[in-house]
Amino acid sequence: MKIAVIGIGAVGSVIARELNMLDYDTVLFGRQPKSGFTISEAGEEFFYPYRIETMDAYQGEPFDIVFIAVKATALNNISQTFHHLINEGTEVILCENGMGYERYFNRPVPAVVYISGQKKNDIIEHFQDSTLLIEDNPHPNIDRLITALDKNPETELEIKKSEDFERIRYEKLLINLGINSVTALSKNTSKIFDLESVTQLTRSLLEEGVAIVNNEREIVSPEFTDRAMAIYKNYNPEMGTSMYYDVIANAETEYIYIQKYLYGKKGNLETPVLDVIVTLLEAYQYKRGY
Ligand code: NDP
């Protein structure tokens, strides 16, 4: 079986490292060619000498599975430039946060990603977890890979299937909606939940998000807001979020696929907090040339 991983950053490097332990032909694609990558875990650095190439230089056969682990903002472009990597049997796993980018692909397999890390300069810090969750549908190639991963005790990567995928995916979107918004816009870490004002604001934002998700039918339990607030309060106070790190680095955020995605679904619902959050995130990116 031939497998590709596009985007060898915090998420893609962990997927790539684990796939390389299997007896498959795995090819890694980045923006620039490189002779390998370094992952730091619990303070120790490990170099993995797996060649990274660029998609435009690839002249081999199409792949059976393609993992795409870039920022969601890069997906539209990739969907238009990776046709030589795929054929009608290729299963494309999208490893991004957010929603609304599936429309760029034929038969995408979106995943909820439980791989926590951060790329800093040329080192990838892997904090915890190596799991991808996908919907419980048959995918012959992915199913073979799942079996191979299960049989190989050395590999940490797990691909799990869930019949409850829709709810879990929306819950992840809502978790990101709450904490990403307030950490990015305050440029501060999870310690801000010490402030009652931030807690109240985040709660209101989540309630609006839950109302949007449940507008047509109940997908997420209404008590999800309480659960999410408890999760935030338990985070390490120094923990940032991807959107926080993007803003600190003056980089483009994924707000189009998180906050703006929900905003686009609000219909007639009153969402005063979300409206302000979306306006400010839009303004943050305005004329920055992304
Ligand atoms: P990173 O920025 O660490 O990695 C993205 C990688 O994609 C970079 O190495 C980047 O290259 C590469 N890339 C960008 N464009 C292309 C392209 N056209 N072709 C090939 N490679 C490309 O992001 P993350 O891994 O953190 O995030 C990926 C997704 O996973 C995001 O949607 C994120 O929200 C989600 N996620 C991240 C988690 C985390 O803890 N990091 C947790 C859960 C989800 P370059 O370095 O040159 O820019």
Nearest to 68 by CA among 115, 29, 120: 29
Average pLDDT over residues 155-181: 98
Same domain, 152 and 12: yes
Same domain, 179 and 211: yes
Average pLDDT over residues 183-195: 98
Same domain, 270 and 139: no
Could you identify the atom of ligand 1 that is nearest to the CA of residue 11?
25
**pLDDT single digits (tens) 46-70:** 999 999 999 999 999 999 999 999 9
CATH at residue 219: 1.10.1040.10
Q: Is residue 290 part of a domain?
A: no
What pLDDT shows up at residue 56? 97
What pLDDT shows up at residue 102? 98
Please identify, among 130, 163, 196, the residue that sits at the C-terminal boundary of a domain.
163
Same domain, 106 and 22: yes
In which domain, by residue range, is 187 found? Answer: 166-285
Task: Tell me the CA–centroid distance for residue 95 and ligand 1, in Å.
Answer: 9
Give the span between the Cα atoms of 8 and 36, in whole angstroms: 10
- The whole-chain average pLDDT of the chain stands at 97
Same domain, 130 and 53: yes
Same domain, 127 and 218: no
Q: Is residue 19 part of a domain?
A: yes
Task: Tell me the CA–centroid distance for residue 194 and ligand 1, in Å.
Answer: 30
Average pLDDT over residues 188-197: 98
Nearest CA to ligand 1 atom 27: 71
How many Cβ atoms sit within 10 Å of the Cβ of residue 55? 17
What pLDDT shows up at residue 79? 98
Q: How many domains does the chain have?
A: 2
Average pLDDT over residues 3-8: 98
What pLDDT shows up at residue 121? 87
Q: Is 101 in the pocket of ligand 1 (CB under 6 A)?
A: no
Give the span between the Cα atoms of 159 and 144, in whole angstroms: 11
**pLDDT single digits (tens) 245-266:** 999 999 999 999 999 999 999 9
**pLDDT single digits (tens) 89-141:** 999 999 999 999 999 999 999 999 999 999 998 999 999 999 999 999 999 99
Which runs of consecutive H residues, i.e. helices, occur in 105-195?
140-151, 165-186
Same domain, 154 and 210: no
CATH at residue 31: 3.40.50.720
Kindly state the percentage of the chain with pLDDT values over 70: 100
Could you identify the atom of ligand 1 that is nearest to the CA of residue 115?
42
Spatial contact of 70 and 10, defined as CB atoms under 8 Å apart: no
**Burial of 268: CB neighbours in 10 Å, binned 0-12, 13-18, 19+:** exposed
What pLDDT shows up at residue 277? 98
Please identify, among 119, 144, 163, the residue that sits at the C-terminal boundary of a domain.
163
Please identify, among 100, 131, 163, the residue that sits at the C-terminal boundary of a domain.
163
How many Cβ atoms sit within 10 Å of the Cβ of residue 87? 11
Same domain, 195 and 51: no
Q: Is 177 in the pocket of ligand 1 (CB under 6 A)?
A: no
pLDDT level of residue 212 (50, 70, 90 thresholds): very high
Same domain, 178 and 154: no
Prediction ipTM score: 0.99
Kindly state the percentage of the chain with pLDDT values over 90: 99
Q: Is residue 239 part of a domain?
A: yes
